[in-house]
A and B are shown apart, each in its own frame.
Chain A
Amino acid sequence: MRIQKFGSRRRGIALAAGIASTALVLGACADTDEGSGGDGGDAEAFEIDCAAYEEFGDLEGTTVTVYTTIVEPEAETQQASYEPFEECTGVTVEYEGSREMEAQLPVRVQAGNPPDIAILPQPGLLSTLVNEYDAVLPAPEQVEANVDEFWSEDWKEYGTVDGTFYAAPLGSNVKSFVWYSPSMFADAGYEIPETWDDLITLTETIAEGNEGATRPWCAGVESGDATGWPATDWIEDMVLRSAGPEVYDQWVSHDIPFDDPQIVEAFDMAGEILKNPDHVNGGLGGVDSIATASWTDAGYPILEGNCWMHRAANFYATQWPEGTEVGPEGDVYAFYLPAETTDEKPTLVAGEFIGAFTDRPEVEAFQTYLSSSDWANAKAAATPAGGWVSANNGMDPENLATDFDKLSAEILADEATVARFDGSDLMPSAVGTDSFWSGMTEWFASDRSTEQVTSDIEKSWP
């Protein structure tokens, strides 16, 4: 087992060697590019400034409970990233991850048994908890100060409900990626497309060589009881590209109807790829197989050579089967899903948020830690396999483990990037987690027209 070390940069007091030993118990291992120890070095521990938490008083021996959807194996890196805080303050963070968390959290809240802190996987849940259960406490001032310092105005807005700031963002996802096989592209002499037209031209070029089950694209939207969400990302990316960010905002806030002609146009733009049997669904079947193919496996035909491209978020990096090398020269890598021109870089993003239900000092201290750049760097250092990134601008991209994560961070930081948050996470749940999802699966599975699907979704808007 390798010993964890946190890449040392920032200010402050050096930490006791305790971190190394506790990290050893947890079995998390990190590798930073700081060179020196290489693998297995017990060199520098990640240092944070404990002074930031002194104002909360003596917290030794207290406990903070965290409830989240993040389970194995990501749970381990998540927990490891709390260690510097635990070392500083003596607080024990009790971590509970469950895939049923989104359904169970309201139950606990209603029963008067909420956790101290919940990591909310989408802003929709935050607004439900605030509006329907009046449960989340407004963020303490230290947290708000951290968010003002390290996050953009937009990100702060996602954690705000009706003008009150509740939840600091935690991690960020970048969704506008297309996965491909660098060697397949190199062998065929294909270039990475720079504009949407390039992408369509490339798609058609590849389609001319279709053989058997091979197609330019593969896609899948099956995801248990969340089936349909990967398709909503497709549409959101298309709206950003065909209609632009302003229309996107209007669409998400329902200032224009869901079946507005501009949205229908975006559907058809996605349909150019997803509804064309010559373009999909490599190795997985016809257009209707998009509805039943599991999103986690939908990119695998790339490894078999049956599929050339797969649009999926940055965290798809962790979905590839064990042994798959992710990198510019590896088995798979990803390029930015191009826009109409190279001057603009609309990017679909998503992320988690920290909601607090109690306001004991140790809880506020932990919230403050999670919203800081210290945590973002500790988390980056604690995630040796990659697949994680944050839009926290205090995070040093050099701490990220893989080239791919650095690419994600680069896109987030790019001046040309116009980031928009995943729309289905912002829409009311009757649409965002229900009719939009089922509408998309019907779009693939039945011969319902785009107009029909969009107007059905519009009708379900509460």
Chain B
Amino acid sequence: MDWLKYAGDDPVHKLLLMLIAIVLFVVLMAIILFVVDRPRNPPRWFVGFGFTGIALLLLLAGLVYPALSTIWTSFLRRNSGDFVGLDNYVRAFTEPQFLIVLGNTALWVLVAPLVATFLGLVYAYLVDRSRFEKIAKGLVFLPMAISMVGASIIWKFVYEFKPQGVEQTGVLNQFMVWLGGEPQQWLLSRPLNTFLIMVVFVWIQTGFAMTLLSASIKAIPTDITEAARLDGVSGFGMFWRITIPSIRPALIVVLTTIAMTTLKTFDIVRTMTAGQFDTSIVALEFYDQGFRQNDAGMAAALAVLLFVIVVPVVVYNVRQQRKVEEIR
């Protein structure tokens, strides 16, 4: 048993363990599918559960249970069991520190996904079927391969400030100097700093949007574009009237996914400013309260607020999904 549990320091043992895990998993899957496929006329719930069962069980244990206990914790004071009702929420909506955080989060979730999706779309459209498509996509995808912390460090270098008269080390300020301007304290100038931090997020996520949207652009049936071309549609008109409507569902999926990521991402702000200079967002505040202040109640309340913020996104998606279904 121990051999299966712990691999110790032996790399070969580790790799073997990995193979065993994969094989075991495949066998498990095969058994499930075999059982599902066995009956002649199985009830639909049986087949449905066969396909979705493992996922649902894992999610129940791994995410639903912690989420429910978080909702409960949000009514408690710090780490004690004392029930304090809505106190944590009242704090979140009254203390100036948290109000800034909520405002910034709203800004983030409205702006960052739109910009990232838009840039990803435009870029995917522009390089589509061009000679340099592969390399062009590779360049924009590159930031995805860097961890969020790594990306934040890169951009901290970009925004770095040195006073006039000293050699600049930040590329942005060097440009300011070359253009005859004065170097700026980028991360101190509010509200610009929030947007400059968003740039890092957009820089990473555009590759994600581009990859998925490019795929759907390629899936637009040729007859549609051909017909439009015969009608004399070209350039911008083609993009606006043919491409965008054709990939609308994909656009919504990408926007939604990035919006969800936006709400959860905290390491960018943490690395760039640690949430100071009025740049904090709910996800970071949650992390701070939970892991630095050890205030489990407040952290839980902030996590619940994240759920709440996301409700409109969920509702919108469900409605879109319904619409698509009606067309089909």
The answer to whether A and B touch directly, with their CB atoms under 8 angstroms apart, is yes
A462 to chain B, nearest CB (A): 9
What is the bound-complex CA distance between A286 and B166, given in angstroms? 12
Q: Does B165 contact A (CB under 8 A)?
A: yes
User: Contact at B166–A106, with CB atoms within 8 Å?
Assistant: no
Does A64 belong to the interface (CB within 8 Å)? Answer: no
B187 at the interface (CB under 8 A from A): yes
Kindly provide the distance from the CB of B150 to the nearest chain A CB, expressed in whole angstroms: 14
Q: How far is the CA of A85 from the CA of B277 in the complex (A)?
A: 48
Task: Enumerate chain B residues within 8 angstroms of A107, measured Cβ to Cβ.
Answer: 291
Establish whether residues B294 and A429, one from each chain, have CB atoms under 8 Å apart when the complex forms.
yes
Within 8 A of A (CB), among B174-199: 185, 187-188
Within 8 Å by CB of A430, from B185, B188, B273, B293, lies: B293
Does the CB pair B274–A225 fall under 8 Å? yes
Contacts of B162 in A (CB 8 A): 283-285
> Does any Cβ of B come within 8 Å of A242's Cβ?
no
CB-CB under 8 A from A213, the residues of chain B are: 163-166
Q: CB-defined interface of B248-289 with A at 8 Å, one 1/0 digit per residue?
A: 000000000000000000000011011111000000000110
A106 to B299: give the CA distance in the assembly, Å. Answer: 14
Which of A184-192, A357-365, A433-441 is near enough to bind chain B? A433-441
- CB pair A429 B185 closer than 8 Å: no
B161 within 8 A of A: yes
Interface residues on A, range: 20 to 34
A434 touches B276 (CB 8 A): no
Whether B274 and A226, one on each chain, are in contact in the complex, defined by CB atoms closer than 8 angstroms, is: yes
Assess A225 versus B187: contact at CB under 8 Å? Given A103-B292, A132-B79. no
Q: Is B276 within 8 A of A288, CB to CB?
A: no
Is A163 in contact with chain B by the CB < 8 A criterion?
no
> How many pairs of residues, A versus B, come closer than 8 Å at their CB atoms?
78
In the complex, chain B residues whose CB is within 8 Å of the CB of A434:
288, 292-293
Tally of contact residues, B, Cβ under 8 A:
25
A283 contact set on B, CB distance < 8 A? 162-163, 166
Bound CA span A59–B57, Å: 44
Nearest CB of chain A from residue B173's CB, rounded to whole Å = 11
Q: Tell whether, in the assembled complex, residue A433 and residue B294 are in contact, meaning their CB atoms are under 8 Å apart.
A: no
> Interface of chain B, helix or strand or loop or mixed?
loop
Interface of A is mostly: helix
Cross-chain pairs A/B with CB under 8 angstroms, 24 sampled: A103-B291, A103-B292, A106-B291, A106-B294, A128-B294, A132-B79, A132-B294, A133-B79, A213-B163, A225-B271, A228-B276, A283-B163, A284-B162, A284-B163, A285-B162, A286-B163, A288-B185, A288-B188, A292-B161, A292-B185, A429-B292, A429-B293, A434-B288, A434-B293
**Other A-B pairs, 19, CB within 8 Å; known A292-B161, A430-B293:** A224-B274, A225-B270, A225-B274, A225-B275, A225-B288, A225-B292, A227-B274, A281-B163, A285-B161, A285-B163, A288-B188, A289-B161, A292-B187, A429-B293, A433-B292, A437-B276, A438-B276, A441-B277, A445-B276
A residues lining the B interface (CB < 8 Å): 102-104, 106-107, 128, 132-133, 212-213, 224-228, 281, 283-286, 288-289, 291-292, 306, 429-430, 433-434, 437-438, 441-442, 445
Q: Which residues of A contact B166 (CB under 8 A)?
A: 212-213, 283-284, 306
**Across-interface contacts of B78 in A (CB, < 8 A):** 132
Q: Kindly state the separation between the CA atoms of A103 and B291 in the bound complex, as whole angstroms.
A: 5
Structural contact, B276 and A289, CB atoms closer than 8 A: no
- In the complex, what's the smallest C-beta–C-beta distance from B99 to chain A, in angstroms? 14
Give Cα A445 to B185, complex, Å: 10
Q: Which B127-163 residues have C-beta < 8 A from chain A?
A: 161-163
Q: How far is the CB of B281 from chain A (nearest CB, A)?
A: 14
Q: Once the chains are docked, how many angstroms separate the CA of A42 from the CA of B278?
A: 57
Cross-interface CB contact of B188 among A132, A224, A292, A433, cutoff 8 Å: A292
User: B161 contacts which chain A residues (CB < 8 A)?
Assistant: 285, 289, 292
Closest 9 CB pairs of A and B: A103-B291, A285-B163, A212-B165, A225-B274, A213-B165, A227-B274, A132-B79, A213-B166, A213-B163
Expressed in whole angstroms, the minimum distance between the Cβ of A440 and any Cβ of chain B is 10
Residues of B within 8 A of A285 (CB): 161-163, 185
On chain A, the residues within 8 Å of B294 by CB distance are: 106, 128, 132, 429
* Nearest chain B residue, comparing its CB with the CB of A435: B97
Interface residues of B in 35-94 (CB under 8 A from A): 78-79
Chain A residues within 8 Å of B275, by CB:
225
- Whether A289 contacts B293 by the Cβ 8 Å rule is no
* B141 CB to nearest chain A CB (Å): 28
Q: Which of B163, B270, B277, B287 is in CB contact (< 8 Å) with A291?
A: B277
A residues near B270, Cβ cutoff 8 Å: 224-225
List the A side residues contacting B271 at CB < 8 Å: 224-225
> Which chain B residues numbered 289 to 318 have a C-beta less than 8 Å away from chain A?
291-295
